[in-house]
Amino acid sequence: MIFWRVKPLDAILATAEKKGLHRSLGALQLTLLGVGAIIGTGIFVLTAEAAQKAGPGMMFSFIIASFVCMVAALCYSELSSMVPVSGSAYTYSYAVLGELVAWMVGWALILEYSVAASAVAVGWSGYFVGLLDNSLGIKIPIALANGPFAGGIINLPAVFVCILVVGLLVIGTRESASFNAVLVTIKIAALTLFIALTLPVTELENFHPFLPLGETGVVAAASSIFFAYVGFDAVSTAAEETENPQRNVPIGLISSLVICTIFYILVSAGAVGSIGAQPILDETGKGLMPGSIALAEQCQTLAAVGQHPLVCSREALALVLREIGWERFGNLLGLTAFLALPSVVLMMLFGQTRIFFVMARDGLLPEVLSRVHSRFKTPHIVTYVTGIGVTVAAAFFPVGKLADISNSGTLFAFMVVALSVMILRTKDKHRVRPFRAPVIWLVGPLAVIGCITLFWFLPNDAKLVFPIWSGIGLIFYFLYGYRKSHLALGIDSSSGGEDIIKPIRSLTDRSQDSIASKSKSKD
């Protein structure tokens, strides 16, 4: 079938060599980019949501989500070392599973990167508003600090940070990475301080009951807190802009994930041990749904009598420090989130623009999106287009829903990457693999099973959004990409001309090539 046409790895590599981006990133910069993309709203904001679903057991939730990401990262490392070009899971699936699956993966990655960038921007807005209120006594009107789903009109702080990040990305990759490195240092310092202040005052009784909502609650929390790890794969989207990518991309992927996992476990232990993290239950003993009106009403009732449980906070880590007597440090951590969360927005937008860039370069999206700025050498048009969508979503939608929707797209992409590695191990055994995922026939299936499990435990509305979004993507594909695909038209993107490439395609495609060839000879 024409939909399953495959773009050979050699053609993908040739395209990147002839029409690629400037290589300027090293292993340290990639690691910092990964850490910058990972540490953000997940730990600063969604810790409260995880606590509401799992209580102290959210520590296990972090470990479960980390494990799924770790096996997926090993698969990513093998593919990115073999195919060191932009595009991440989209490019890998194009080379292994074919164009239709590649399009679906690229379309799903919009949910991962763009929606995640919007979610982080909304999370940043919460810290910004709280910081102004607690430190300077300045109150931003609710109508201008929340979208309509949260009782406001528009989230102007979130709009502001999105516009700022888009500007940085247009200026240049190295400049963006340098800015990110400063913010990563600030985030690591703040989390280290949090751990140092909370672990010494840990009380064992705060861990009981450890699983107030059972094992199901732990897995459900892992499905949501999975968002805390979203972003490590953005390192692979920078492969085409990396020096010695066969070595540096795997280092960046694995090292950033390991660093963040250690921090997450210690931070969650400090939060639970210092003030507790028990969920708020209804009259039947079931946990109230995070983001629900019922939970919001219970939180307001508790706040009225001076109680501020972790599960009710929009500034979870800052709240913990204030509750144990470190109010100034709590405000300082709020300042850190205010300064550092833009780096996560930056990396999410960075990843999305690079995927759109490659899809346009392959002809599946309009060619204009693959244009590179003459001065800054960045894909400026696609950056502007993506920035508009992210800004609109951040202006009008709440953080929790955005995070769960983002997870649905991410899990699908991760699963496809794991499948691609296993298929390629069978189809192309002799290709050079600078990095080989260990025990792939164990790691690969674990990644697939883990992704399916976490997707199953997502909220129902998030699970429903994904097939609807996929259906919209198919409409776009058949209206444009199906007919304009360079692979379908026989265009060699690596030369920028009309050279015929020779991919392994179906009999239908080969027949069309034959007809086209005869037609040219007659002319």
Helices within 5-98 (DSSP H only)? 9-18, 27-38, 41-44, 47-54, 58-82, 89-96
- pLDDT, residue 270, reads 92
Q: By C-alpha distance, which of 40, 88, 60, 385 is closest to 213?
A: 60
Q: What is the mean predicted confidence (pLDDT) over 291-309?
A: 77
When mean pLDDT is compared across 65-69, 164-168, 198-202, the lowest value belongs to 164-168
User: How many Å apart are CA 211 and CA 56, to the nearest integer?
Assistant: 7
Contact predicate 280/48, CB 8 Å: no
**3-class state of residue 327 by DSSP:** helix
- pLDDT, residue 312, reads 78
Contacts of 485 (CB under 8 A, 6+ apart): 5, 99, 362, 363, 364
**3-class state of residue 242 by DSSP:** strand
Tokens 């435990």 locate to 457
User: How many Å apart are CA 452 and CA 473, to the nearest integer?
Assistant: 21
Label residue 145 by pLDDT band (50, 70, 90): confident
User: How many Å apart are CA 185 and CA 208, to the nearest integer?
Assistant: 34
User: How many Å apart are CA 404 and CA 416, to the nearest integer?
Assistant: 19
User: How many Å apart are CA 33 and CA 38, to the nearest integer?
Assistant: 9
Q: By C-alpha distance, which of 39, 47, 66 is closest to 120?
A: 39
Contact predicate 457/219, CB 8 Å: yes
Contacts of 466 (CB under 8 A, 6+ apart): 108, 111, 405, 408, 409, 412
Computed on alpha carbons and rounded to an integer, the radius of gyration of the chain in Å comes to 23
Contacts of 330 (CB under 8 A, 6+ apart): 318, 319, 320, 321, 322
User: How many Å apart are CA 95 and CA 74, to the nearest integer?
Assistant: 18
The tokens for 184 are 């990563």
Domain 20-481 CATH (choose: 3.40.50.200, 3.40.190.290, 3.40.640.10, 1.20.1740.10): 1.20.1740.10
CB atoms within 10 A of CB 382: 25
DSSP 344-395: HHHHHHHHHHHHHHHHHHTTSS-GGGG---TTT-S-HHHHHHHHHHHHHHHH
Contact predicate 41/341, CB 8 Å: yes
The pLDDT tens digits of the residues spanning 234-285 come to 676 666 566 777 677 778 878 888 888 888 889 999 999 998 888 888 777 7
The tokens for 201 are 């005052």
User: How many Å apart are CA 112 and CA 117, to the nearest integer?
Assistant: 8
The tokens for 220 are 């459900």
The tokens for 501 are 């490439």
HSE-CB for 337 with a 13 A CA cutoff: 32
User: How many Å apart are CA 250 and CA 76, to the nearest integer?
Assistant: 8
Contacts of 376 (CB under 8 A, 6+ apart): 170, 171, 172
User: How many Å apart are CA 38 and CA 163, to the nearest integer?
Assistant: 21
The tokens for 352 are 């999305």
The pLDDT tens digits of the residues spanning 308-355 come to 788 877 778 888 898 888 888 888 888 888 877 777 787 778 777 777
Higher-confidence position of 401 and 395: 395
Label residue 172 by pLDDT band (50, 70, 90): low
The tokens for 129 are 């508003």
pTM recorded for the entire structure: 0.77
Label residue 517 by pLDDT band (50, 70, 90): very low
Domain ranges of the chain: 20-481
When mean pLDDT is compared across 30-39, 123-132, 149-158, 173-182, the lowest value belongs to 173-182
